[in-house]
A and B are shown apart, each in its own frame.
Chain A
Amino acid sequence: MGYLDIEHLYFQYSSKRMILKDINLSINQGEWIAILGHNGSGKSTLAKLIVGLLQPKEGRITVDGVDLLPENVYDIRKKIGIVFQNPDNQFVGVTVRDDIAFGMENLQVSKDDMLKKIDFYATKVGMQNFLDKEPSQLSGGQKQRIAIAGILAMQTDIIIFDEATSMLDPGSRAELMEYIKELHQEGLTIIMITHDIEEALYADKLVILKSGEIYQQGDIPTLLKHPEWFKEAYLELPTAIQIYYDLKQAGHDNQELEEYLWAFSSSK
């Protein structure tokens, strides 16, 4: 039993087509897992199921031993936060301060407590000098950091990132990844949903989703030994690994280069 367990989960929207089929997943506290899948593979749907925005057709989700049901979704959401893809579509407040406060207001945190936490968590994501700014004055990366601060202030155990960096420029993207690394080091459980393998390399464990099914899962070096799996799942390999396989196929067998390329990919 992990901290978050998903057992035989099936889901479909109103249409007949099953979007998720027999998903089984167990995530331990403090783990960083990446869920990698092509466009439309059902990643966002899975994320919404985990935070109770959608209800499974079959199967169950348990968090900390408690079944996720409509009756207790409010309490379970205190444990799981989610950062979505589009920075602009999740900024609820008129100012940064208001936005960080939004979740806490819903949890009925007292005003004094809120102000303290806003200061603390805004500082944590490097936004302490922006509290009075409006979203139109912020970059996408800054807005995503505010979303993180808002979730941290709710003191959840797990944060899900659903392609949270995909609309950012490379600079803010790298910056955001650094913040996420830090959170992980402090003990937060990270579920990183992405279609970008380079980003998935940060994780302890990789789950490959293909057309609504878990196609492969395991630790990253093991999975990377099977380039055909990535191809099958319509995914790309990390550039360094791709170069390694290309060289190998062309008959170059350089032990030193091989080691270097593998090390390069796991240095995240």
Chain B
Amino acid sequence: MKNIIIGQYIPGSGFLYKLDPRTKIISVIVLMVAVFLLKSIVQLSIAMGLAILILIAGKISIIRIFRGLKPIFVLLIFTFVFQIFFNKEGALWVDETMTIGFVSITSMVLWTIIWRMLAKFKKFKMILFILYIGGLYLIMKYITYGTIFTTWQFLVYEKGVEMSFFVVIRLLIIITLSTVLTLTTKPTDLTQGIEKLMRPLKVIGISSEDFALIISISLRYIPTILDEANKIMLAQASRGADFAEGKLKDKIKQIISLLVPMFIIAFKRSEDLADAMESRNFVPGRERTRIHDLKLGRLDLLTGLATVLLLAGSILVRIYL
């Protein structure tokens, strides 16, 4: 629970920190669109290069971004594998006969058990996972003796490989861009930026101030709520509950025994909070001044310009290449 980081802002000094949040939000969105206009691996690789240049210019450690990728590692692998398996266009590159038989299934089960036993080395989770998948491949390919149940063809096509790289690189760029945004912008500034950008929605009756307030209060209370969940879990663990192990039925019971008190507390909290806000003269929809004031500077102009150029570039590439 402790390592869930909300709004993974990390203080720093690069130029990205000096930009107005509005500039960053818009630029990130525009650049994402630009990335989606690109259609070859070469173009995407250049875009990736540019993204890395932005990181370097903004003095952001690339390792940081990489660490941020960890949670979606599985998604990346899945995307990659999905493309390789299901895209059947272009030249046939790999054609392997895979065997499933008594001996190979036994081996796979053993291999899985070994993998699960090693799972306690959390640090090497990714490497172990890759080794595991690789192992399964080798088992199906080379363990061909004993009773054979069935065989299947492992086919990889040129386009499949290309597309899997294409999709994964694109995903990487998108994630890098959004990570840059949240890494260099304080949550308060981010909500402030969103609030200002949503101003025009007032015409259709959406109050951007209220919306921003809801976001910022949620941000403010997430750590408190997690802390509370931790306390309740500890209290219940001390009475013998075990959240890590146990049957599914027990787990569900324990989760319910966690959620019920959490909901009760949250309900009381929201009542208290409404009272506290009202007693400090908050009236929904009423004009308020703001302590955070956003100002656009020269840097924002330059960034905006660069963003527009990049978008124009990818539009041209899209049309002419």
Chain A interface (Cβ within 8 Å of chain B)?
48, 51, 53, 74, 77-78, 81-82, 84, 86, 88-95, 97-98, 101-111, 114-115, 118, 134-136, 150-151, 154
Contact = CB atoms under 8 A, between A and B. Distances in A.
Given A90-B272, A94-B187, A74 B220 contact: no
A106 B279 contact: no
Contacts of B293: 111
Given A88-B224, A90-B276, A78 B281 contact: yes
In the complex, the 7 A-B pairs of residues with the closest C-beta atoms, listed nearest first: A89-B272, A90-B276, A103-B280, A101-B291, A106-B281, A136-B223, A105-B288
Contacts of B282: 102, 106
Nearest to A50: B279
B220 A150 contact: no
12 contacts: A74-B281, A82-B279, A84-B272, A89-B269, A92-B276, A95-B188, A98-B291, A101-B291, A105-B291, A106-B280, A106-B281, A154-B281
Interface residues of B, number: 30
Given A51-B279, A89-B272, A98-B292, 11 more contacts: A81-B279, A89-B276, A90-B272, A101-B291, A102-B277, A105-B289, A105-B291, A106-B283, A109-B289, A136-B223, A154-B281
B273 A108 contact: no
Nearest to A151: B280
Contact of A114 (B217, B275, B287, B291): B291
B217 A92 contact: yes
B161 to A, nearest CB: 46
B216 interface: yes
A39 to B, nearest CB: 16
Most chain-A Cβ atoms within 10 A of its Cβ — which of B219, B275, B278?
Answer: B275
Contact of A91 (B219, B220, B289): B220
Given A92-B277, A94-B188, A94-B219, A106 B288 contact: yes
A191 to B, nearest CB: 13
Contacts of B217: 92
Nearest to B186: A94
B286 interface: yes
B147 to A, nearest CB: 60
A23 B220 CA distance: 38
B210 interface: no
Given A97-B291, A106-B283, A48 B220 contact: no
Residue among A48, A90, A135 with most chain B CB within 10 A: A90
B239 interface: no
A164 to B, nearest CB: 12
B273 A105 contact: no
A154 B277 CA distance: 13
A88 B289 CA distance: 24
B280 A102 contact: yes
A99 to B, nearest CB: 9
Contacts of B276: 84, 89-90, 92
Nearest to B213: A92
Nearest to A80: B279
